[in-house]
Structure 1
Amino acid sequence: MTVATASVKRRRVAAGALVVLFGVELVVAWPSLTAALSRLESPHPGWVALALLAELAAMASYARMQRRLLRSAGVDAPLHRHVALAYAAHSLSVTLPGGPAFSTRLNYQQMRRFGATPAVASWCIALSGILSAGALASVTAVSVLAADRTPDWATLAAFALAAALLTLGARWSTRRPGTVARLLAPVNRLLHRPADRGLDRLTGFAAQLRAARLTPAHGAAAAAFAVLNWLLDAAALWLCLHAVSGGTPISVAHLLLTFCAGYAAATITIVPGGLGVIDSALILGLVTGGVATGTAIAAVVLYRLISFGFIIGAGWIAWFLIRDR
């Protein structure tokens, strides 16, 4: 037997095992699935509408966060352009393999069209990511404390340190361009390049970055919008649970913990949109909080139809509209 033949045989065995496993899980979970489908047939339209509004507000909050950051650097684009960018970039990020790279590129291109310099656009993208991750960590910590548990202070400290280092490093480099230029020479020597290679570009980049002065007011507003983005997204899940059950037999703290755990789990998967990973974590969290399995499945399916299906569809439409602007 050749190596290629053995490899094909192993893949077939693995595929067969997965089919058998899926079949067993389908049989075991069939009662819960039928219960979930029956609840999805008649969700309360009022709660569904509120969940959709919460998700739309969450996306608007993210757009407002980025707008605040750019306004602190003197770049003032209309809100609707920021909202369209938020939808389009989000869709690229969660639906394409390697999506974050495509999302970053789109953000950079559009921010340059808004009037941002290369340095300011890069700064805004980096700080947006740190603020969003820090906001999720903060919501997690608050929900852990509300549930009388011990938060992961090390993770929170790491996010705070990263934000502080980014801010201090940017300010130091813009205030001491001469020192940065002197540090460039030994780096160029290590790379066997002329000592002044890249000096003009570095000096220009530092000059552009000096325009990005994040005032306390803009910084506080951007951080508040980052937190609001996650809270409104979690509210959409809570409203979906109401829509299929008529009530929420779970505490707000436990629901927030479930929500944060689901999105934290999505950071360690390469599956676009965290499909399967987020869903499983959310269902498991709701069930452990006292929600019936069928109800939990129905609520998560409805939530993902809104937060993934509807928002992603709107995002691709937004991408089509802004890609050539």
Structure 2
Amino acid sequence: MATQSSERTPAHGRTPVQLLRRAALVVVVAILAVEAWYVAPEVRHYWQATKNVRWLWVGACVLAAAVSMESFSQVQRTLFASAGVRVASWRSAAEIYAANSISCSLPAGQVLATTFAYRQTRRWGATPIIASWQIVMSGLIKGAGLALIGFVGAFLAGVKTTPFSLIFMVGGFLAFLVLAQFIASRPDDINALSSKAVALVNRLRKRPPEEGLARWQQLLGQTQAVRLSRMDGLKAFAWSMTNWTSDIACLAFACYATDAHPSLPGLLTAYWLGKTAAVAVPLLPGGLGVVEVVLVPALTGSGVPSGAAFSAVVIYRLVSFLLVTAIGWVIFFLLFRKSDPIHPKNRDEFDEERFEAQQPPR
């Protein structure tokens, strides 16, 4: 047994992934330390000159962060409402806060947060297809919004750029929307086409013609429950843009709290670079260290003094990352530590197997 355990883990009980994360963390800390040492004299001079942060603007940061989180929960509620699933506003907001904290705090947090969101939405009565559709649609809408922000920032800054990423994200969102509307509006045609496709696949596999057809029609019926109109799609996209612009406002208010006034193109570009960096380096929780390293020079390049930029980024991250994450964990332990069972009307085969396995023996 001792030999097997020693083969599974290297010396000191640490896996290569853990060692890599520790090494990356050391590098990030070193970069932050060098940056702090470099800007420390200017930061000290800045604090002596201004004496204090403008706390009214810090309060505005907190309000903007709250609006940003509430806006994203409205995206979720709009999508679910189009599929006939009604969710209370407080339930949706609580799930968004908790999932955000899981995503920002834990290793493989994005995967765990997606799983958590899926299970919670199933408990609200969403079918497996509707729950998965909502997660995919939210991601497409959010990605399209971020691409639009980056494009607008580059355009206002006078940078020559190709709108391929914007076209790709918006095109994907529209294609997904049109496909959902097509399936919902032509149930008979889709059923007939799917029956022929299943029969053809079964013939190639040398199986009975109708094998798996009932299950496929069940999934198709769940998809046809979606009634996302153009107005609902625009409403969801508008809420998503409110989510992004509120977070940008949080960064702007953090700058105002330090008496810095970045230009709009510089602010949008810096924000887009920070978010892109956080996505590009998913190993660190919430992009901690990476976002700061990107945001400070980006704001400095837009005309903000380096000391003020450093202080503004600290305020922004304290509010939008640490405070929001802390609130999310409090909500998680208060509301989601013991979750309700999945809605009995919408259990799938996997849920039924788990439900039966959890029953006490008779």
Give 1:200 shift: 2.1
Give 1:113 shift: 2.1
Instruction: Give distance in 2, aligned partners of 1:154 and 1:64.
Output: 28
Equivalent residue for 1:152, pick from 154, 162, 174: 162
Distance 1:194 1:164, change over 3 A: farther
Letter in 2 for 1:316: W
Letter in 2 for 1:317: V
Deviates more, 1:19-28 or 1:106-115: 19-28
Match status 1:219 vs 2:233: yes
Hey, what does 2:310 align to over in structure 1?
Answer: 297
Hey, what does 2:152 align to over in structure 1?
Answer: 142
Hey, what does 1:264 align to over in structure 2?
Answer: 276
Letter in 2 for 1:169: L
Unaligned runs of 5+ in 2: 1-9, 12-18, 341-362
Equivalent residue for 2:330, pick from 305, 317, 323: 317
Match status 1:70 vs 2:80: yes
CA deviations on 1:231-285 (whole Å, 9 max, x unpaired) are 11011011111112x241x201210111011101222112221112211111110
Letter in 1 for 2:269: L
Give 1:138 shift: 1.1
Match status 1:32 vs 2:32: no
Would the aligned equivalents of 1:119 and 1:208 in 2 still touch at CA under 8 Å?
yes
Instruction: Give distance in 1, aligned partners of 2:274 and 2:29.
Output: 22
Would the aligned equivalents of 1:51 and 1:239 in 2 still touch at CA under 8 Å?
yes
TM-score, length-normalised on structure 2?
0.78
CA deviations on 1:165-214 (whole Å, 9 max, x unpaired) are 32333344553023223333555677787654432222111111111110
After TM superposition, the structure 1 = structure 2 runs for residues 45-194 of structure 1, keeping only pairs within 5 Å, are 45-173=55-183, 175=186, 176-187=190-201
Distance 1:267 1:24, change over 3 A: closer
Instruction: Give distance in 2, aligned partners of 1:224 and 1:140.
Output: 17
Would the aligned equivalents of 2:73 and 2:96 in 1 still touch at CA under 8 Å?
yes
SS at match of 1:61: helix
Distance 1:132 1:34, change over 3 A: same
Hey, what does 2:287 align to over in structure 1?
Answer: 274
Would the aligned equivalents of 2:97 and 2:328 in 1 still touch at CA under 8 Å?
yes
Deviates more, 1:65-74 or 1:37-46: 37-46
Would the aligned equivalents of 2:43 and 2:307 in 1 still touch at CA under 8 Å?
yes
Give 1:319 shift: 1.7
Unaligned runs of 5+ in 1: 6-11
Match status 1:199 vs 2:213: yes
State how many pairs are aligned. 313
Letter in 1 for 2:313: V
TM-score, length-normalised on structure 1?
0.86
Match status 1:239 vs 2:253: yes
CA deviations on 1:33-87 (whole Å, 9 max, x unpaired) are 3544674983211110000100010000000111111111121211111111110
Instruction: Give distance in 2, aligned partners of 1:158 and 1:223.
Output: 16
Would the aligned equivalents of 1:33 and 1:297 in 2 still touch at CA under 8 Å?
no
Instruction: Give distance in 2, aligned partners of 1:131 and 1:289.
Output: 28
Letter in 1 for 2:213: L
Distance 1:318 1:190, change over 3 A: farther
Give 1:110 shift: 1.7
Would the aligned equivalents of 2:260 and 2:308 in 1 still touch at CA under 8 Å?
no
